[in-house]
């Protein structure tokens, strides 16, 4: 056990002993007073002029604005975690990232968040319904302080908050819809070339180059159809209007004589998504015209058999009052799945009772 130096108040006797002995001495002689040895004075550290200042934190008098790399990494991570079970908590965090654009005059962070969500929705068509719900929530709950000095209303007033969000989202959808499948393929090819260095391209064999071209084509096709489905889901949550949907249908049916396969496949995807919502009494005349043209396309020799069968499937879908043969389950919660299983089991038990 270590030793402790103490100095008695009266006299100059010094005790050097173990703590237990010192404690016993204090108990036996309570009138003795002990003094601690005086501590040496400590000088305060001086602040250096070239000290290191953290770049990621907020400094006094300045406002922290996240870099595009930070926004990209965090928002993509949140979207990868997003499910119907944690929709409320994760979507709130995504809205918070979009709201970091409050202190920007050009809405840079807001535009970046919209682009990330849009690209995720287009690339993951099976969950486009959930991403459309996310966009609806963002439009409703985003900060009204957000604005972009470059976007004004017709009366030259700044567009802010949810209206600004909707404006940017619509611009993104419209731009890619008008570019079409071919434009998306060109963009994907340019991105692939940029990702590869020139030496890799030169050393690649002819078969590998053809393989890359096929991949780019399939990627563009998948994203184009994903865009059409996402547009339909945005209409379902009332972000896009019925007028915009009719304009999309008219554009896809514009070339009846020699249509592109891209246009036919996109048209069929759009009607599968929102056909029932468009086929209402006030728009029945328009729908009849659309399907009359689709019937003509089924007999067009310039249309491939695969496209003809696809058109015929949509025509039959309308004849069945838009009830699909094999319904595709939309994203749902675990609780809803358990409830559906219990209901199905109950039905089976009732059937077995009747059989017995």
Query: Do residues 19 and 153 share a domain?
Result: no
Residue 5 is inside which H or E element, if any? Answer: strand 4-8
Asked if 82 contacts 130 with a C-beta cutoff of 8 angstroms, the reply is: yes
Specify if 61 maps to a domain.
Answer: no
Query: Do residues 210 and 132 share a domain?
Result: yes
Query: Do residues 224 and 251 share a domain?
Result: no
pLDDT range class, residue 256, cuts 50, 70, 90: confident
Query: Do residues 16 and 143 share a domain?
Result: no
Specify if 335 maps to a domain.
Answer: no
Who has greater pLDDT, 221 or 309? 309
Q: What are the structure tokens assigned to 300, written together? A: 């067009």
Contacts of 148 (CB under 8 A, 6+ apart): 105, 106, 107, 110, 111, 158, 159, 164, 168
Query: Do residues 308 and 282 share a domain?
Result: yes
Range of the domain at 298: 244-322
Q: What backbone torsions phi and psi does residue 35 show, to the nearest 5 degrees?
A: -120, 140
Report yes or no on whether pTM surpasses 0.85.
no
pLDDT tens digits, one per residue of 67-115: 999 999 999 999 999 999 999 999 999 999 999 999 898 899 999 999 9
CA 218 to centroid of chain Cα atoms:
22
What is the count of structural domains for the chain?
3
Q: Which of 196, 224, 240 is the last residue of a domain?
A: 240
Asked if 83 contacts 330 with a C-beta cutoff of 8 angstroms, the reply is: no
Query: Do residues 221 and 263 share a domain?
Result: no
Specify if 133 maps to a domain.
Answer: yes
Measured CA angle at 265 (ends 216, 178), to 5 deg: 70
Residue 304 has pLDDT above 80, yes or no: yes
Query: Do residues 180 and 114 share a domain?
Result: yes
Query: Do residues 300 and 317 share a domain?
Result: yes
Specify if 179 maps to a domain.
Answer: yes
Query: Do residues 20 and 124 share a domain?
Result: no
Q: What gap in Å lies between CA 33 and CA 27, rounded to an integer?
A: 12
Residue 217, domain CATH: 1.25.40.180
Q: What distances in angstroms separate CA 19 from CA 2, 9, 35, 69, 165, one per listed residue? A: 8, 18, 15, 59, 71
Spell 10-34 as b/e; 16+ CB within 10 A means b. eeeeeeeeeeeebeeeeeeeeeeee
Q: Which of 217, 240, 263 is the last residue of a domain?
A: 240
pLDDT range class, residue 64, cuts 50, 70, 90: confident
Contacts of 48 (CB under 8 A, 6+ apart): none
* Mean pLDDT calculated for residue range 45-59: 58
Q: What are the structure tokens assigned to 45, written together? A: 């550290």
Residue 11 has pLDDT above 50, yes or no: no
Query: Do residues 269 and 299 share a domain?
Result: yes
Specify if 263 maps to a domain.
Answer: yes
Who has greater pLDDT, 11 or 313? 313
């Amino acid at each position: 056990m270590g030793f402790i130096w103490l100095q008695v108040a009266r006299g100059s006797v010094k005790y050097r002993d173990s703590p237990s002995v010192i404690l016993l001495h204090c108990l036996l002689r309570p009138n003795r007073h002990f003094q601690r040895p005086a501590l040496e004075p400590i000088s305060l550290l001086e602040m250096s002029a070239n000290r290191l200042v953290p770049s990621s934190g907020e400094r006094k008098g300045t406002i922290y604005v996240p870099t595009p790399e930070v926004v990209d990494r965090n928002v993509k991570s949140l979207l990868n975690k997003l499910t119907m079970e944690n929709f409320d908590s994760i979507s709130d965090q995504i809205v918070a990232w979009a709201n970091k654009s409050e202190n920007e005059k050009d809405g840079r962070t807001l535009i970046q968040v919209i682009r990330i969500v849009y690209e995720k929705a287009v690339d993951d068509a099976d969950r486009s319904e959930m991403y459309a719900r996310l966009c609806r929530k963002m439009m409703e709950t985003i900060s009204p302080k957000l604005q972009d000095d470059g976007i004004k209303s017709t009366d030259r007033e700044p567009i802010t908050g949810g209206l600004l969000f909707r404006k940017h989202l619509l611009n993104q959808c419209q731009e890619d819809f008008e570019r079409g499948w071919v434009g998306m393929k060109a963009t994907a090819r340019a991105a692939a070339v940029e990702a590869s260095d020139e030496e890799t391209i030169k050393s690649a064999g002819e078969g590998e180059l053809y393989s890359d071209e096929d991949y780019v084509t399939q990627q563009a096709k998948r994203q184009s159809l994903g865009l059409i489905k996402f547009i339909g889901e945005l209409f379902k949550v009332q972000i896009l209007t019925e007028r915009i949907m009719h304009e999309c249908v008219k554009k896809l049916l514009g070339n009846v004589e020699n249509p592109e396969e891209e246009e036919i496949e996109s048209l069929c995807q759009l009607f599968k998504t929102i056909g029932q919502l468009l086929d209402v009494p006030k728009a029945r005349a328009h729908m009849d015209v659309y399907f009359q043209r689709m019937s003509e396309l089924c007999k067009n020799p310039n249309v491939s058999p695969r496209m003809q069968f696809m058109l015929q499937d949509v025509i039959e879908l309308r004849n069945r009052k838009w009830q699909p043969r094999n319904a595709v389950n939309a994203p749902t919660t675990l609780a809803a799945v358990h409830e559906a299983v219990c209901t199905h089991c109950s039905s089976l038990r009732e059937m077995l009772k009747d059989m017995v």
